[in-house]
Chain A
């Protein structure tokens, strides 16, 4: 029964986004079944995740750590051990990361702006964030890499018999690593939101222009009807490589319509339309009046 209960609980935790924590606990149990103590199993799984993270970073997956499976393992371990379901100490870790008397500022490489630029370029959103965002992104990534390396080889962590009694410096490193990762994620997510915002505005602006163009819709329609009355309803016509179905004109049904008088009527009026090519182009772009219509008009008259 306890096994079933735990399975159900784990399923619920996976469904609510805590799958990496469940994976960590499963790994720990697996080591314990092989004879390790709880403390040793927890430490080894945490260190294994850090080692995998190092391998990923060293293997050229520098840009991929936002989606890194090894980071998810590390995050799962940290959340399970120190998060709300564990010792609930992560807020304290983050505070220590900002305390210069506890946190040992790591020696980091110069921020690699071209790599950061490539990261955002690879998102294929057609835009780039501002330079100050790119700079911070690059800087935080160096901090992330440096701290991941330092934690992986930290003798204090390697020798820890109880993770609850870790040195504050190590806890501060974990806190800073989480902050760096959150900063990277925030920059990326906010950049995507910026792009979505601009796209939404472009759509709104286009809608406004289309509304303004609607007052024009009656003009080309009237002349289209006149033309169809003159030259017949083409039913299906191939224009610009595309087949178009013409609508049935009310004038088309008028059998006594004479070409001479309508030609006189249309010639003068369409000359006015022809005199506003910018407008015709704008309408054409908005799909209110086909370009083919303009061509037909010029050919006919």
Chain B
């Protein structure tokens, strides 16, 4: 393998810049092909593992955030339902207007809750996109 090929292998790799520079300086200093490939292989293995861990960590954090948002939503929704049930039980069966108002308010509050939940999840996704 010629030097140019080795250089492309290093430059086009997904290694961090300092490691690429280190390998390039080895290459320029006349290190053997075997030595450089062995070192490159070590670095690739380590970086692959690191990225795997980072990804798994990021995915786990996302799952946690999603679960927390879902839990908060479920709790708030449950509270809304309990309030509605309590309110309906206090309304006389014959008072259809009061019942109608109670349901309408329940659905309005639920809609607000859902808008809030969507905003939170969007913020989590945005944060994930912006994080290095």
Residues in chain A within 8 A of chain B (CB atoms):
94-95, 97-98, 100, 103, 105, 130, 132, 136, 176, 179-180, 182-183, 186, 190, 193-194, 197, 200-201, 204-205, 207-209, 211-213, 215-216, 218-219, 222, 225, 250-251, 254, 256-258, 261-262, 264-265, 268-269, 271-273, 276, 279, 282
* A264 touching B81, Cβ below 8 Å: no
Contact with A along B41-57 (1 / 0, CB 8 A): 10011001101101110
- Take A218-B14, A257-B1 as given contacts and tell me if A265 and B93 are in contact as well, using a CB distance cutoff of 8 Å: no
- Complex Cα–Cα for A269 and B5 (A): 18
Would you list 11 pairs from A and B whose C-beta atoms are within 8 A, ordered by A residue?
A95-B97, A98-B95, A98-B97, A201-B121, A211-B125, A250-B12, A251-B9, A265-B44, A268-B41, A268-B45, A269-B45
Q: Which of A130, A258, A279 has the most CB of B within 10 A?
A: A279
Residues of chain A contacted by B75 (CB below 8 angstroms): none
- In the complex formed, the residue of A with least CB distance to B14 is A218
Q: How many A-B residue pairs have CB under 8 A?
A: 134
* B97 touching A209, Cβ below 8 Å: no
Taking A100-B92, A213-B59 as known contacts, 18 extra A-B pairs with beta carbons closer than 8 A to each other, sorted by chain A number, are: A94-B97, A105-B93, A105-B94, A180-B96, A190-B107, A194-B114, A201-B121, A204-B118, A204-B122, A208-B66, A208-B121, A208-B125, A219-B14, A219-B48, A222-B14, A265-B9, A269-B44, A271-B45
Least distance between A86 CB and chain B CB atoms (Å)? 21
Partner pick for B41 among A257, A269, A276, CB 8 A cutoff: A269
- Complex Cα–Cα for A196 and B96 (A): 29
* B129 touching A211, Cβ below 8 Å: yes
* B96 touching A215, Cβ below 8 Å: no
Least distance between A226 CB and chain B CB atoms (Å)? 8
* A251 touching B8, Cβ below 8 Å: yes
Is residue B13 within 8 Å, beta carbon to beta carbon, of the partner chain? Answer: yes
Partner pick for B96 among A97, A197, A209, CB 8 A cutoff: A97
Least distance between A189 CB and chain B CB atoms (Å)? 9
* A197 touching B118, Cβ below 8 Å: yes
Least distance between B58 CB and chain A CB atoms (Å)? 4
- Complex Cα–Cα for A185 and B25 (A): 73
Least distance between A239 CB and chain B CB atoms (Å)? 23
* A103 touching B128, Cβ below 8 Å: no
Residues of chain B contacted by A256 (CB below 8 angstroms): 1-2, 5
Least distance between B68 CB and chain A CB atoms (Å)? 13
* A132 touching B81, Cβ below 8 Å: yes
* A205 touching B59, Cβ below 8 Å: no
* A200 touching B107, Cβ below 8 Å: no
- Take A94-B97, A215-B51, A279-B52 as given contacts and tell me if A205 and B66 are in contact as well, using a CB distance cutoff of 8 Å: yes
